[in-house]
């Protein structure tokens, strides 16, 4: 039997004003209610699509930021190559001018070339990472559909340019290897005995070859730098585009949110008018179920089955290994005992009813309907999201509004995530649950259009 707490919502008055010929005001209001309901459904769908697109674009933005970071590392490595090349040239010149100090200068050349080789190796690694990041960006762009087409082009260009950077770095490493061989031969020539004039002539020839090698390294470095500048420009352009799209999506999302709120407000006002509309039965059922839950909780308190601090406990304790995250609190055992009798009966109201749950003020669902109280499967997030919806906090826009609503009832339209990329548009009637004058949470009754 339903509690007398549910008298806040009543049906239409039996005394109606005189109706003019043609369509009656009552029928007009009902038609308006159906129209506004359809508008609300469309607004919820648009809001959901925009929200999904924002997630994809945000992922693209994060990818672009990662690319910018990789490019920064490459540019620093290129600067090191330029510096080392200049030092090598200086060392070669000093060696040519002072053969008596060749041993130490050759040592400087070897050290500088080692730095060049290390920097080129680093560029090769970073270029490979950049190509991987660009590939991920391309995947995110394809997921975003039409909104990501431009970013897909940029991602492909980034991948190609990264390959060019890697090729330039490998060319530098190959030249350094050749130069190392020549320096070794040069060192042997310095240490050898024989005609001094012939020895000095060979040394000068070796210097000429080294200068050519250093010039080749510098040329490869310049080519790599030009490629990197083009790459950085493309990434910066893509980053700006992502930020513009995010800004536009924020505006569109806010507009759709306001549009949905207006629709919900109109539906509520029509329901408050007392006219019997399609949502009236669900509103009454939510209020009655909320009253029943409140009475059961009050009785449990009076009988000492639970303490007040346990009933209003918000110290949510994580359940290890759960994904999505599940938590425990002080009233879960009592909820398991009391809530199903009310919640399961509400499912029989109509084949349109999807779920009926009692939640605390933070949107925490201790006990869901039995169909959604399945134990989680390790590693199967998609299945868990759809079937293990108990012991979870639903503090999204709809969930938190229902949980904290203290008006006689609240009617909302939203898109529910069923897991695995599946969504369904539904309505929800909610009513506050008040225990001994203290707001505990809300009763959420969701139903399909």
DSSP string, 107-133: HHHHHHHHHHHHHHHHHHHHHHHHHHH
Summarised one tens digit per residue, pLDDT across range 21-76 is 456 666 666 666 666 666 666 666 666 667 667 666 777 677 767 777 777 777 77
Query: Within a domain: residue 32?
Result: no
Query: Within a domain: residue 27?
Result: no
User: Using CA atoms, how far apart are residues 350 and 347, in angstroms rounded to an integer?
Assistant: 7
Asked whether residue 199 falls in the same domain as residue 300, the answer is no
327-328 and 422-435 strand pairing: unpaired
pLDDT of 431 reads 97
Summarised one tens digit per residue, pLDDT across range 214-243 is 777 877 777 777 777 777 777 777 777 777
Asked whether residue 57 falls in the same domain as residue 182, the answer is yes
Among 122, 202, 207, 136, which Cα is nearest to 165's? 122
What percent of the chain lies above the pLDDT cut of 90?
Answer: 33
Asked whether residue 86 falls in the same domain as residue 131, the answer is yes
Among 371, 311, 375, which Cα is nearest to 344's? 371
Summarised one tens digit per residue, pLDDT across range 100-126 is 555 566 667 777 777 777 777 777 777
Asked whether residue 309 falls in the same domain as residue 246, the answer is no
pLDDT of 73 reads 74
Asked whether residue 54 falls in the same domain as residue 191, the answer is yes
Burial status of residue 420 (CB atoms within 10 A of its CB: 0-12, 13-18, 19 or more): exposed
Bond into 324 cis (ω within 30) = yes
Contact by Cβ (8 Å): 383, 377: yes
Summarised one tens digit per residue, pLDDT across range 180-211 is 777 777 766 665 544 555 555 666 677 777 77
Query: Within a domain: residue 283?
Result: yes
pLDDT at 18 over 50: no
Comparing 232 with 96, the larger pLDDT belongs to: 232
Q: For residue 431, what are the domain limits? A: 279-448
Asked whether residue 389 falls in the same domain as residue 313, the answer is yes
Asked whether residue 110 falls in the same domain as residue 165, the answer is yes
Summarised one tens digit per residue, pLDDT across range 311-362 is 999 999 999 999 999 999 999 999 999 999 999 999 999 999 999 999 999 9
Among 59, 229, 204, 221, which Cα is nearest to 139's? 59
Asked whether residue 75 falls in the same domain as residue 144, the answer is yes
Is the C-alpha dihedral spanning 416, 398, 316, 436 positive or negative? Answer: negative
pLDDT of 4 reads 39
- Fill in the DSSP letter of residue 321: T
Query: Within a domain: residue 261?
Result: no
Q: Which residues contact 331 (CB under 8 A, 6 or more apart)?
A: 306, 310, 311, 313, 360, 366
Q: How many domains does the chain have?
A: 2
In this structure, what CATH number is given to the domain that contains residue 198?
Answer: 1.20.120
pLDDT at 2 over 50: no
Asked whether residue 191 falls in the same domain as residue 93, the answer is yes
Asked whether residue 174 falls in the same domain as residue 68, the answer is yes
Identify the band that residue 288 occupies on the pLDDT scale cut at 50, 70 and 90: very high
pLDDT of 420 reads 62
Summarised one tens digit per residue, pLDDT across range 68-81 is 777 777 777 777 78
Residue position matching structure tokens 């919502």:
9
Query: Within a domain: residue 198?
Result: yes
pLDDT of 6 reads 42
Q: Which residues contact 3 (CB under 8 A, 6 or more apart)?
A: 288, 291, 292, 294, 295
- Fill in the DSSP letter of residue 17: P
């Amino acid at each position: 039997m339903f509690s007398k707490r549910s008298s806040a919502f009543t049906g239409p008055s039996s005394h109606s004003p005189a109706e003019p010929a043609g369509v009656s005001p009552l029928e007009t209001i009902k038609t308006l209610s159906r129209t506004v309901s359809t508008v609300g459904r469309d607004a919820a769908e648009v809001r959901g699509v925009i929200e999904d697109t924002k997630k994809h674009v945000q992922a693209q933005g994060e990818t672009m930021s990662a690319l910018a970071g990789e490019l920064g590392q490459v540019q620093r490595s290129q600067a090191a190559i330029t510096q080392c090349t200049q030092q090598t040239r200086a060392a070669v010149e000093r060696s040519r001018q002072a053969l008596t100090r060749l041993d130490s200068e050759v040592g400087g050349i070897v050290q500088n070339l080692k730095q060049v080789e290390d920097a080129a190796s680093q560029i090769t690694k970073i270029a490979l990472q950049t190509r991987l990041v660009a590939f991920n960006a391309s995947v995110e762009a394809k997921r975003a559909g039409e909104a990501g087409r431009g970013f897909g082009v940029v991602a492909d260009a980034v991948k190609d340019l990264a390959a060019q950077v890697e090729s330039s770095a490998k060319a530098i490493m190959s030249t350094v290897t050749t130069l190392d061989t020549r320096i070794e031969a040069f060192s042997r020539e310095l240490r050898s005995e024989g005609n001094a004039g012939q020895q000095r002539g060979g040394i000068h020839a070796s210097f000429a070859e080294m200068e050519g090698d250093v010039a080749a390294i510098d040329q490869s470095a310049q080519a790599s730098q030009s490629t990197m500048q083009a790459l950085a420009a493309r990434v910066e352009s893509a980053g700006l585009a992502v930020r513009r799209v995010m800004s536009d999506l924020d505006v569109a999302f806010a507009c759709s949110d306001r549009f949905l709120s207006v629709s919900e407000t109109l539906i509520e006002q029509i329901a408050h008018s007392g006219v019997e509309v399609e949502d009236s039965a669900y509103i009454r059922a939510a209020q009655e179920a909320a009253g029943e839950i409140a009475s059961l909780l009050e009785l449990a308190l009076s009988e000492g089955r639970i303490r007040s601090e346990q009933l209003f406990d918000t110290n949510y304790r994580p359940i290890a290994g759960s994904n999505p995250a599940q938590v425990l609190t002080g009233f879960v055992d009592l909820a398991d005992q009391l809530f199903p009798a009310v919640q399961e009966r509400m499912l029989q109201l109509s084949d349109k009813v999807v779920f009926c749950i009692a939640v605390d003020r933070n949107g925490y669902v201790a006990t869901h309907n039995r169909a959604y109280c399945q134990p989680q499967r390790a590693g199967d997030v998609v299945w868990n999201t759809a079937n293990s919806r108990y012991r979870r906090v639903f503090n999204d826009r709809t969930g938190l509004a229902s949980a904290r609503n203290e008006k006689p009832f609240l009617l909302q339209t939203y898109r529910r995530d069923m897991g695995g990329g599946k969504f369904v548009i539904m309505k929800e009637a909610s009513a506050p649950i008040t225990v001994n004058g203290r707001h505990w949470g809300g009763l959420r009754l969701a139903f399909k259009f």
